[in-house]
Amino acid sequence: MENTRIERDSMGEVAVPAERLWGAQTQRSLMNFPIGWEKMPAAIIRAFALLKKAAAQANLALKPDKMSVEKAEAITAACDKILSGELPDEFPLVVWQTGSGTQSNMNVNEVVANCGNAIAGKRILHPNDDVNMSQSSNDTFPTAMHIAAATAVKEELIPAVDVLIATLKRLEAENEGIVKSGRTHLQDAVPVSFSQEISGWRGMLEADKAQLEQAFTGLCNLAIGGTAVGTGLNACAGFGDKVAELLSAETGLPFVSNPNKFHALTSLDRMVFAHGAMKALAADMMKIANDVRWLASGPRCGLGEITIPENEPGSSIMPGKVNPTQCESITMIAAQVMGNDATVGFAASQGNFQLNVFLPVTAYNFLQSARLLTDGILSFDKRCVSGIKANREKMKENLYRSLMLVTSLNPYIGYDNAAKVAKKAYKENLSLKEACVQLGFLSAEEFDQIFHPEELV
């Protein structure tokens, strides 16, 4: 039988595994929410540790009669253990708990208190009175969520986008001067250079990056200092600003305490806006990956205008088959992010009066999207895009077979006559030159003088 100890909270006694640092409220959550396998993200726990550390230091500065140096040092030491990854098994709670994230806030409070007491060698910390001093779950969870989200966007996702942008810039330069057939509606269109096509991909990512940067600014607004309903009850003046200042110094990110705590506690608009930027990135990644796999389709029965790295066998039955698996991975990620965006948007619409109680599911979906996009983009870059090679011969063949080159004749023979040339060439399997000459619109010499596909870009 498992060894236990008795912990107490306002509802009474609870048996807790003896070796664990958590307390009664964490144990009650484990008992009451045996739902799913989605645990509270590690990024949220890390953000809570940063927050509790900053809160203790702020309380020491603003409430020295309540927060002693000894207590602040014990809290800081415990938080540093969490931040160094020493206590990963002490945070077992699932996402599907109270919508304010109260139990995860208390999970952190209890672990920090018990760990801090062990470090101090005596019982000096209470999870509510000391670790949660000047705070409420209602302002700490949204604050931790914003810390985690801002960190993921700024320090992980944006750098990943930069890596892919740099690769595309290199490919643009390497493929300068290669002209190929453009395509609209999945049909032949007028020519485009391959570097121009790549620049379109790059431009998407640069726009996505700008949107993420804008969203990041909003995520740096924190709810801390609002406590239960936004009034700041039990927190002294300046507490939120002091915590934000300390967090900024610790992380290097420009956190500020939201001046309107009533907004900060009940609205998730900044999370929606930031996830919308991630959805835009996901949509562009879907488009880029689809372009790549279409252009690489074949090797003999598809477009075959580019080759991509061959990473693994593509079939359990067809020998020699190689598939665009990195494209498939990133497009599945894009689909997941779009689904997550629907969840985040719906959750944000459910704020009632002074609090939104869809916080854990919002945090989970946001951080999953950020992680999937970060990892997926880096993998797509390394294992696919970096190895793209132009099939110049196939591009040239397709360019000269395209009937839409007839568009260049419009200024000389008119739109209607050019359409007749294209239709005759298609029906009779002629070249544009043969059709144009047979229809009597231009002589062979005149056609050669004005028809230069490589100049049409």
Q: Where are the chain's structural domains? A: 4-133, 139-176+197-224+262-393, 402-455
Exposure on the CB side of residue 229, measured as CA atoms within 13 A:
5
Cα dihedral: 282, 283, 284, 290 (round 10): 100
Tokens 């077979």 -> residue: 401
pLDDT digits (tens, 9 = 90+) for 230-250: 999 999 999 999 999 999 999
Is the pLDDT assigned to residue 10 strictly greater than 80? Answer: yes
Q: Which of 194, 205, 202 is nearest to 168 (CA)?
A: 202
pLDDT digits (tens, 9 = 90+) for 340-349: 999 999 999 9
Q: Which pLDDT value is given to residue 1? A: 45
**Alpha-carbon gap, residue 21 to 135, rounded angstroms:** 21
Task: Find the helix or strand (DSSP H, E) in which 256 lies.
Answer: strand 256-257
Is the pLDDT assigned to residue 199 strictly greater than 50? Answer: yes
pLDDT digits (tens, 9 = 90+) for 264-304: 999 999 999 999 999 999 999 999 999 999 999 999 999 99
Question: What predicted TM-score, i.e. pTM, was given to this entire model?
Answer: 0.96
pLDDT digits (tens, 9 = 90+) for 204-233: 999 999 999 999 999 999 999 999 999 999
Does the annotation mark 315 as catalytic?
yes
Q: Which pLDDT value is given to residue 2? A: 75
Q: What is the mean pLDDT of residues 335-363?
A: 97
**CATH number of this structure's domain 402-455, picked from the four choices 3.30.390.10, 1.10.40.30, 3.30.300.30, 3.20.20.100:** 1.10.40.30
pLDDT digits (tens, 9 = 90+) for 143-172: 999 999 999 999 999 999 999 999 999 999
**Selected catalytic residue, list 315, 349, 443, 452:** 315
Of the pLDDT bands very low, low, confident and very high (cuts 50, 70, 90), residue 27 is very high
**Alpha-carbon gap, residue 380 to 409, rounded angstroms:** 41
Q: Which pLDDT value is given to residue 454? A: 87
Q: What is the mean pLDDT of residues 49-68?
A: 98
Q: What is the mean pLDDT of the chain?
A: 97
Q: The domain at 4-133 falls in which architecture?
A: Orthogonal Bundle (1.10)
Q: Does domain 139-176+197-224+262-393 have CATH number 1.20.200.10?
A: yes
Does the annotation mark 185 as catalytic?
yes
Is the pLDDT assigned to residue 85 strictly greater than 70? Answer: yes
Is the pLDDT assigned to residue 427 strictly greater than 60? Answer: yes
**Selected catalytic residue, list 104, 136, 146, 185:** 185
